[in-house]
Amino acid sequence: MRPNSALRKMRAGQPISVGWLVAGSPLLAEAAARVGFDALLLDTQHGYWPPEALVNALQVIGPTETVPLVRVLRNEYHLIGRALDDGALGVVVPLVNSAAEAKAAVQAARYPPAGARSAASARVRYYGEDYVQQANSEIMVVVMIETREAVGRVEEIAAVPGVDCLMIGPGDLSLSLGCFGAPDAAHAAAIEGVIAAGRKAGVSVGMACGGPDDAVRRAEQGMLFLAGGSDWGWAIGGAQAHLAALQAGLGAL
């Protein structure tokens, strides 16, 4: 089976760069896959990915060196299995609040005896004829820590076998802590608590970062899964820069 290079980097203690795709465009996914990110996260929770477009995006990312990941809509067996059968090499599972919920995510992503995933996909064979035999060690399972409840149980969640990464969702976490839009000391302490739990369990920690500077700061804290910047934001930022340059040039005439 094709090695999951992003997962292997994290297991070696190296940070990975993860681009976020929300626009639902396989063409943008194809372009982003050739930029050089370690992984691309196709977001079906808050993004705009109809099923056929998601498969098309996985088809164009899969042959590149970039690892395709999917954030599923919710923590459900068939959604996780479907994303992996479509060609994702990892899943990001939102709103995991307990060890039982983390275990359910792992069970859906792993073949027996480590889990309960069903083996019937044709597309996964493109990753190698030994996919079913090797997938349990190459598929990345990321659970999101996004609530006060999850932070309170984060050591139990981190201890679940098969969890590869704890990913902090800072926006929803601030909403849960009552400081949405203005993260406070309690928010910072919660993040530190997740980092400590990951370190204790030997599990990677990551976060949806606010930009490159924030990602570097989080890496300095010990985070390895550095997700941030989206196709939507890149398009708007590029358009704004283009327009500003054009207007400046025209104004100088």
- Check which CATH number belongs to the domain holding 130 and give it: 3.20.20.60
**242 a catalytic residue:** no
Contact 22, 231 (CB under 8 A): yes
Q: What sign for the dihedral angle of Cα 211, 216, 222, 226?
A: positive
Which pLDDT score is estimated for 120? 84
Residues 6+ apart with CB under 8 A from 252: none
Return the number of other C-beta atoms located less than 10 Å from residue 109's C-beta: 30
Which pLDDT score is estimated for 195? 98
- Over residues 211-239, the mean pLDDT reads 96
Domain count, the chain: 1
- Name the one residue in this structure whose structure tokens are 């681009």: 19
**pTM of the complete model:** 0.96
Catalytic residue among 46, 78, 187, 242: 46
Q: What does the mean pLDDT of the chain come to?
A: 97
Q: Which domain holds residue 60?
A: 5-251
Whether the ω angle into residue 63 lies within 30 degrees of 0, i.e. cis, is no
Report the C-alpha gap between 9 and 7 in whole angstroms: 5
**Phi and psi of 195, rounded to 5°?**
-60, -45
Contact 235, 21 (CB under 8 A): no
- DSSP classification of residue 165: E
**Percentage above 70 pLDDT, the chain:** 100
> Of 191, 223, 190, whose CA–CA distance to 206 is shortest?
223
Residues 63-89 pLDDT 10s: 999 999 999 999 999 999 999 999 999
- Name the one residue in this structure whose structure tokens are 């390895």: 224
- Name the one residue in this structure whose structure tokens are 């995991």: 96
Tell me the Ramachandran region of residue 178: left when phi exceeds 0, alpha when psi lies from -120 to 50, beta otherwise. left
Return the SS3 of 122: coil
Return the SS3 of 54: helix
Which pLDDT score is estimated for 182? 87
> Of 51, 57, 70, 64, whose CA–CA distance to 29 is shortest?
57
Residues 185-206 pLDDT 10s: 999 999 999 999 999 999 999 9
What is the pLDDT confidence band of residue 226, given thresholds at 50, 70 and 90?
A: very high
Report the C-alpha gap between 102 and 203 in whole angstroms: 13
Residues facing residue 40 across a β-bridge: 19, 68
- Over residues 203-214, the mean pLDDT reads 96
Contact 94, 72 (CB under 8 A): yes
